[in-house]
């Protein structure tokens, strides 16, 4: 099956002429204006996951249409801006192809729910305060989103920066953590240097947990919902205080 977009055109900085098929190298050039970190490996990974299905020449070379490029741009944008798992992105795009009018899936990362200043939408909760089941991401989705290999991810795990669940998946906040670790690495900060940051985060989380633990154990469901609201508010305040203290320390003589 060849994918197209019935939900409107998504343009990048450039696109192949209508009806013209282009190589994966050309696609990379078209996408990099908006997505400078995209790689051929990432495009191949998205193909392997069934997100895009380019045509093949008799010799086996990939050939991409305008619709393929637009679909890739939409996928990359949803990953970058909303940190959505690939499964959710595929379901959303497939629904658009069927002509269904579907809203963009709600942001499902608990990390952004702790940073309301960023203006992101928090994950939905039920009356018991349980987070939506979409706030998990698989290992290969994390590798693709962060543009790293197994070796780097294993190193981060060894220093406690990322911790998989018993099922081997991660909270979607892992994408944000991974991208920030990569950015810090460009300044020479290695994972071993970030253990103090992780320890400080765990201490802050422990303080928040002390405040909300009695609310979470309450028999009233509405009180438990209020506990999650309190977590988000306290976490946001804690992050802001942490940032202010770091700035103050850097300005100290």
**Cα distance between residue 80 and residue 42, in whole Å:** 13
Share of the chain above pLDDT 90, in %: 13
Q: 3-state SS of the chain: helix, strand, coil percent to 5?
A: 55, 5, 40
CATH architecture of the domain 110-251 equals Orthogonal Bundle (1.10)
Least confident of 93-107, 150-164, 174-188, 196-210: 93-107
Residue 246 CA to its chain's centroid (Å) = 26
- Asked whether 213 and 205 are in contact (CB, 8 A), the reply is no
For the entire predicted model, the pTM comes to 0.48
DSSP 125: B
| Of 124 and 106, more confident | 106
User: What is the C-alpha separation between 39 and 72, in angstroms, rounded?
Assistant: 12
Which tokens sit at 73?
């741009």
Question: Do 110-251 and 24-97 have the same topology in CATH?
Answer: yes
- How many CB atoms are closer than 10 A to CB 33? 10
Structural domain boundaries in the chain: 24-97, 110-251
Question: What angle is formed at CA 119 by the lines to CA 184 and CA 5, rounded to 5 degrees?
Answer: 90
pLDDT digits (tens, 9 = 90+) for 125-168: 333 333 333 467 888 888 887 778 888 899 999 999 999 888 88
- C-beta separation of 109 from 135 below 8 A: yes
Q: For residue 148, what are its two tokens?
A: 């790293």
Q: Is the pLDDT of residue 55 over 90?
A: yes
Tell the CATH topology of 24-97: Multidrug-efflux Transporter Regulator; Chain: A; Domain 2 (1.10.1660)
Asked if 239 and 197 touch (Cβ cutoff 8 Å), the reply is no
């Amino acid at each position: 099956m060849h994918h197209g977009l019935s939900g409107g055109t998504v343009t990048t900085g450039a696109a192949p002429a209508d009806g013209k098929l282009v190589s994966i190298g050309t696609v990379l050039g078209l996408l990099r204006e908006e997505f400078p970190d995209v790689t051929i490996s990432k495009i191949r990974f998205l193909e392997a996951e069934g997100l895009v299905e380019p045509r093949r020449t008799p010799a086996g070379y990939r050939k991409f249409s305008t619709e393929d490029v637009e679909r890739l741009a939409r996928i990359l944008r949803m990953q970058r801006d909303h940190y959505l798992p690939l499964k959710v992105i595929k379901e959303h795009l497939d629904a658009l192809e069927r002509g269904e009018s579907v809203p963009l899936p709600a942001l499902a990362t608990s990390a952004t729910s702790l940073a309301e200043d960023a203006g992101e939408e928090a994950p939905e909760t039920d009356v018991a305060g349980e987070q939506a089941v979409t706030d998990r991401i698989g290992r290969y989705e994390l590798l693709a989103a962060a543009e790293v290999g197994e070796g780097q991810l294993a190193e981060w795990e060894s220093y406690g920066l990322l911790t998989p669940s018993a099922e081997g998946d991660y909270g979607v906040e892992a994408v944000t953590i991974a991208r920030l670790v990569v950015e810090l690495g460009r300044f020479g900060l290695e994972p071993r240097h970030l253990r103090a940051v992780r320890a400080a985060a765990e201490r802050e989380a422990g303080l928040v947990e002390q405040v909300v633990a009695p609310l979470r154990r309450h028999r009233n469901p509405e009180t438990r919902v209020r506990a999650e609201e309190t977590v988000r508010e306290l976490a946001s305040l804690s992050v802001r205080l942490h940032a202010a203290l770091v700035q103050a320390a850097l300005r100290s003589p």
